[in-house]
Amino acid sequence: MSTPLFSVVICTYNRAKYLEQTLQSVVSQDYPSEKFEIVVVDNNSPDRTEAASFSFRDQYKDLTIRYFKELQQGISYGRNRGVSEASGEYIVFLDDDETVEPVFLQNLEDFYTGYKDASLTAGPVIPVYETTPPNWLSPFTMRLITGAYDKGKEIKIVGPKDYPGTGHATFRRSLFRKYGGFNTDLGRKGSSLLGAEDKDFFFRLIRNGVKCFYVPGAAIYHHIPASKLTADFFGRLTYSIGVSERVRTLSESKNSYFKRLFSEVIKWGASVILAFYYTIIFQFPKAKKILLFRYNVTLGMLKKTP
């Protein structure tokens, strides 16, 4: 069998319903079957994830669909396992609650054909709400909750402040051989909301001069359930962001941690200004959530564990 151009790596935990949507969108690609494979990494899901994966494998025998169970709990372990099992020149990460259009892989191939030196891309993230979004959701909390990402209609290089999430990025596989994998001290484990594993990895690439290209034709749709739009989820997520930043920066050095704390002071100033703006236009729920976001992140950074 020839080596595929793309390995679509889907790391999943306890989301069989959404995983089936994700798989259906990938197997429905208008793209030659020999040019891609699907690698499902199950991180000890207690639901019917394994059965759903095997069902797709048996139904689509003309496609290469491989299933692996990663016993070490955590998204970083899952992603590293996906990288080690992938055989494609490029690794396409999709989260288990995302879907793509039939032209997704063809658009990525068209990009890499025209930009032969590119090693890293990110596409738009379009939220798909399963319920009415709450009135406190603003552009400044939307990416936090939904991963919303839109840099326009043209191919461009994005700066360090616009680094993407792993769930809508494609990597040349050689990047992992050169710069290592995801930090297993970071990232979600089971129901934990810790993160920053992708931020840690992207910063490694940025420091080594790896450019990230924004590819508007490689859009993904992120499905947002009602459970992610609750006050409880918002509180746990924002606190976990602070804890994750503490772990990430201290893994680099104490100096890095204190620099990040100093930047938190600057972020507080920006948050107060934004909250004031929403207050004077009588959008009080948005103002309150922006300040709560900042408060929870700061509190998390000052704690060792959530």
Element (H, E) at 22: helix 16-27
pLDDT at res. 306 = 47
Overall size of the chain counted in residues: 306
pLDDT at 186 > cutoff 80: no
Last residue of a domain, one of 186, 213, 228: 228
Q: Is residue 12 part of a domain?
A: yes
Least confident of 11-15, 47-51, 190-194, 208-212: 190-194
The overall average pLDDT reported for the chain is 91
Same domain, 179 and 123: yes
pLDDT at res. 54 = 95
Question: Could you read off the pLDDT of 149-184 as tens digits, one per residue?
Answer: 999 999 999 988 888 888 899 999 999 999 998 888
Same domain, 31 and 165: yes
Question: Could you read off the pLDDT of 102-129 as tens digits, one per residue?
Answer: 999 999 999 999 999 999 999 999 999 9
Q: What percent of the chain has pLDDT over 90?
A: 74
Question: Could you read off the pLDDT of 239-269 as tens digits, one per residue?
Answer: 988 988 898 888 888 999 999 999 999 999 9
Contact 4, 88 (CB under 8 A): yes
Last residue of a domain, one of 206, 228, 250: 228
Give the chain's domain count: 2
Q: State which residues form the domain around 44.
A: 6-228
d(CA 302, CA 242): 8
d(CA 237, CA 224): 14
Q: Is residue 187 part of a domain?
A: yes
CATH number at 80 reads: 3.90.550.10
Whole-model pTM: value is 0.90
d(CA 100, CA 27): 10
Q: Is residue 1 part of a domain?
A: no
